[in-house]
Amino acid sequence: MDEDRFVRTKKLLGEDNFAKLQNSYVVIVGLGAVGSYATEALARAGVGRLRLIDFDRVSSSNINRQLFALTSTVGMPKADVAINRVRDINPDCKVESFEEFIHKDTMGLILDEKPDLVIDAIDSLNPKTELIASLVAANVDFISSMGAALRTDPTRIKYGKINQVSHCGLSKMLRKRLKRRDVDLSKVRCVYSDEPRDDLPETAISMGDDDNELNIGGRKGRERNVMGSLPTITGIFGLTIANEAIKKLTS
């Protein structure tokens, strides 16, 4: 290992805590706007093993907010771009990637070998519900991301329990679904914004005009809302998740 690569992390955390990061196994599900920043930060922090999961491919509309989206990577699987970037940051990291969609049949990708931590950066409701319910049932520690789109105020970004979240349509729908599955909401920790979404321009939300259509088994997925977002806010969401992850892994 290049001893200079993580020297500043060691200086701040100490040798023992840095060793904990090197011996940690983290699964990151969703490698888009939030997940790409979380992945980048954990790779640069020195986490020793990463499993990266995303079904999607890079589109040009991702470039405004996703670290893995570049002109040179448009059309490539996000999982492939992510693994190559992590290897370039830390060649000693044991990293693997899977181009998979999360549902009951693929949950083994997350739960086998019981990771120390899972990061949920999924933005689709059904797989997000399935993932969180499965993690709580399996008693696997995780941090989830709520909606980062349509926000402009970084001071309103917080970390806490999902039942503390307000002004977030994703968390509201997610709570309803998790309650129907008898999931203990006090076990769902997340990064969220409590910024009211007032006075949005009419263009902030549209239906299905994104060029990044979700395809499953060769079939187009359902039409989805396309919401305006900034690279700053989504990046802070991902970095906040990574920061909380580092604290958990070294505690």
pLDDT of 119-151, one tens digit each?
999 999 999 999 999 999 999 999 999 999 889
Global confidence as pTM? 0.91
Identify the CA nearest to 42 among candidates 232, 251, 248, 243.
243
- Say whether 28 sits in a helix, a strand or coil: strand
CATH class (in words) of the domain with range 7-250: alpha beta
Q: State the alpha helices, DSSP H only, in 101-167.
A: 108-111, 125-137
pLDDT score recorded for residue 211: 45
pLDDT score recorded for residue 209: 46
Cβ–Cβ < 8 Å for 148, 168: no
Q: Residue 52: enclosing H or E segment and its boundaries?
A: strand 49-53
Got the DSSP string for 156-215?
A: GEEEEEGGG--S-HHHHHHHHHHHHTT--GGG-EEEEE-----S--GGGEEES--S---E
pLDDT at 5 over 80: yes
Contacts of residue 156, defined as CB under 8 A and 6 or more positions apart, other chains included, come to: 193, 194, 195
**Which one has a higher pLDDT value, 91 or 4?**
91
Q: Of the ranges 38-47, 85-94, 155-164, 195-204, which one carries the lowest mean pLDDT score?
A: 195-204
State how far the alpha carbon of 241 is from the alpha carbons of 94, 205, 213, 228, 237, in Å: 21, 25, 27, 21, 6
* Gap between the Cα atoms of 81 and 96, Å rounded: 12
Phi and psi at residue 137, to the nearest 5°? -65, -35
pLDDT at 1 over 80: no
Cβ–Cβ < 8 Å for 93, 39: no
Phi and psi at residue 215, to the nearest 5°? -120, 135
Q: Of the ranges 103-112, 180-189, 221-230, which one carries the lowest mean pLDDT score?
A: 221-230
Model confidence band, residue 203 (pLDDT cutoffs 50, 70, 90): low
Q: How many CB atoms lie within 10 A of CB 165?
A: 22
Q: Which DSSP state fits 103? A: S
* Gap between the Cα atoms of 104 and 127, Å rounded: 9
Q: Mean pLDDT across the stretch 187-196?
A: 96
